[in-house]
Amino acid sequence: MHIVNELAHVLYQTLDGKLTEEKIQQMIEKPKYEHLGDYSFPCFELAKILRKSPNVIAPEIANEMQSPIISHTEIVGGYVNIFLQQEVIATSVLTSILQEKESYGTGSSGNDKVVTIDLSSPNIAKPFSMGHLRSTVIGNSLALLAEKQGFQAVRINHLGDWGTQFGKLIVAYKKWGKEEIVRENPIQELLKLYVQFHEEAETAPSLEDEARAWFKKLENGDKEALELWEWFRHESWQEFLKIYDILGIKFDSNDGEAFYNDKMDRVVKLLEEKSLLKESDGAQVVELEDLPPCLIKKSDGTTLYATRDLAAALYRQETYEFDQSLYVVGNEQSLHFKQVYKVLEKMGYDWHSGLKHIPFGMMLKDGKKMSTRKGKVVLLESVLKEAMELALTNIEEKNPGLVNKEAVAKQVGTGAVIFHDLKNYRLHDIEFSLEDMLKFEGETGPYLQYTHARASSLLRKGNFEPEGDASHHLPEAWQVIIQLYAFPEVVARAWSEYDPSQVAKYLMELARAFNKFYGSVRILDDTKWMQARITVVFAVTVVLKEGLRLLGMTAPLEM
């Protein structure tokens, strides 16, 4: 049972359906101060509907509201302030967590349906930059949230392993590259060559023509072009794997753009059969009513991103029979996805409605977008290494006797980087700041992990053994209890709104409530209340650990 859902249902019945339950859920608030109640319902919108003042409506509603979870209500201005039955809720939530452990908060809305998630998808022959972090960690968290709701999540890494940039890279390598130097440090050297190509092309535009010619050779299966391309791809993948390993992320498919080369003719044929292809200035397009035309084939016969994404959508539906297909791609691609989805709709595929673009803002450096072309990138691998080194230094200072320092430093360093991204609403741009990311206090990953370690240490000192039920009334732990109770609701909403930041913000509130409880009560000293209090501590470790897991982070037992 979710508190807000239950309260919304009670209010819906009280109001005789004057507002929908969904609308009531959106209106329910948390009061600013604890003494004003646990939840609050403002009556101002009802004033227009009922043609009465909010001050008249509030007591009428309060008198009618009845539920086993409501203790009493109070009226303040046009608000109904709702106080919950603390003992009923404490017993319910602690018993659930003791019995279900990490399964607590699991939903069933997925019903084993398939969700494909297109995430990460870096371009090969370029370094994995901080700019690629967002799609990777947002997509991974959404996959974990989908699984928590009972979906089968298929993680797809649609690598950028095709396109004119390979023509540029081949030209640059043949002109200025040396095999032994590239083999020693492949990604850095290929990036240097790529940047050099763009610098030289500014004064020698004929290089662009050479690059197009080499890419055409690659498309036609030229032996030398293919060998170089395969070498660049292999070296890139080995580098990417190191990063995915540090982040603890695995994929179900690493089929990139090249995989769809032999699947695009079929798309063009299908569009022709359905009389959707039109000629425009020598190119082939699909005209769309309220959007610019979707370009399918250029005048020189080469296919485009849209053609490839149409082929990928068809392939994924036929392979996985997905219920939803999410594309975790930057918000600058919004128009592209609208066009692709519209074309699929015109082709008569009713599953087009399950395709969703999950856009996100940019990772900025000094207020500007990071650019590989100009060589202005911050490399994710160096950020992760620096984060882990700093975490290790902190551990050496604060807890030199810790047994597995390196492993904990890895958990804390990577956690800091992941949380710094996911605590932000995905559509917002993020200013890259290594300093902010690695703080061990404030709204950071290390603060949450430290809270988990602190709570785990209490369990060890108290020799805690979980018992099956927990019927205790603990007013001093109430703010912790109510946070624990909200977890299933937060997880369900984070999935339905494709917004992992809701889990991140929730964990912050839970950790703060716990640390306040920890600071105000001597948990292990009072024998009468020790079992009850330590049960709350255990519940906090369960939910913190599971919440961190849903963000792609781990919860150290010691720090």
pLDDT at 175: 96
Q: Are strands 152-156 and 277-280 parallel, antiparallel or unpaired?
A: unpaired
Same domain, 79 and 176: no
Residue 295 resides in a domain: no
Mean pLDDT throughout 482-510? 96
Give the bridge partners for 416, in sequence order: none
Is a pLDDT exceeding 60 seen at residue 494?
yes
Residue 236 resides in a domain: yes
pLDDT at 141: 98
Residue 234 resides in a domain: yes
- Give residue 522's pLDDT band: very low, low, confident or very high (50, 70, 90): confident
pLDDT at 459: 95
The 10s digit of each residue's pLDDT in 157-170 is: 999 999 888 999 99
Is a pLDDT exceeding 90 seen at residue 114?
yes
pLDDT at 152: 98
Mean pLDDT throughout 317-340? 97
- Give residue 372's pLDDT band: very low, low, confident or very high (50, 70, 90): low
Structurally, how many domains does the chain consist of?
A: 3
Same domain, 397 and 526: yes
Q: Are 521 and 448 in contact (CB under 8 A)?
A: no
Domain end among 243, 260, 293: 243
- Give residue 432's pLDDT band: very low, low, confident or very high (50, 70, 90): confident
Q: What's this model's pTM, rounded to 2 decimal places?
A: 0.92
Same domain, 386 and 486: yes
Same domain, 54 and 199: no
DSSP structural state of residue 481: H
Q: What are the φ/ψ torsions at residue 456 (nearest 5 degrees)?
A: -65, -35
- Give residue 3's pLDDT band: very low, low, confident or very high (50, 70, 90): confident
Say which residue, 501 or 377, is predicted with more confidence: 501
Domain end among 47, 63, 84: 84
Angle at 51 between CA 46 and CA 53, to 5 degrees: 70
pLDDT at 433: 81
Closest CA to 517 of 504, 499, 503, 536: 536
Same domain, 46 and 190: no
The CA–CA distances, whole Å, from 222 to 160, 216, 306 equal 20, 9, 25
- Give residue 544's pLDDT band: very low, low, confident or very high (50, 70, 90): very high
Same domain, 426 and 543: yes
Residue 484 resides in a domain: yes
- Give residue 539's pLDDT band: very low, low, confident or very high (50, 70, 90): very high
Which of 53-67, 317-331, 375-389, 493-507 has the least mean pLDDT? 375-389
Same domain, 451 and 546: yes
Domain end among 84, 115, 145: 84
Mean pLDDT throughout 74-78? 94
The 10s digit of each residue's pLDDT in 185-220 is: 888 899 899 999 999 999 999 999 999 999 989 988
Same domain, 56 and 199: no
Residue 32 resides in a domain: yes
Same domain, 528 and 388: yes
Residue 147 resides in a domain: no
Q: Are strands 283-286 and 368-369 parallel, antiparallel or unpaired?
A: unpaired
Task: Give the domain extent around 492.
Answer: 380-550
Residue 128 resides in a domain: no
CATH no. for residue 526? 1.10.730.10
Closest CA to 503 of 415, 495, 358, 450: 495
Is a pLDDT exceeding 90 seen at residue 475?
no
The 10s digit of each residue's pLDDT in 10-62 is: 999 999 889 999 999 999 999 999 899 999 999 999 999 999 999 999 999 99
pLDDT at 371: 66
Is a pLDDT exceeding 60 seen at residue 1?
no
User: Got the DSSP string for 73-135?
Assistant: EEEETTEEEEEE-HHHHHHHHHHHHHHHGGGTT---TTTT-EEEEE---PBTTS--BHHHHHH
Is a pLDDT exceeding 80 seen at residue 330?
yes
CATH no. for residue 79? 3.30.1360.70
Residue 181 resides in a domain: yes
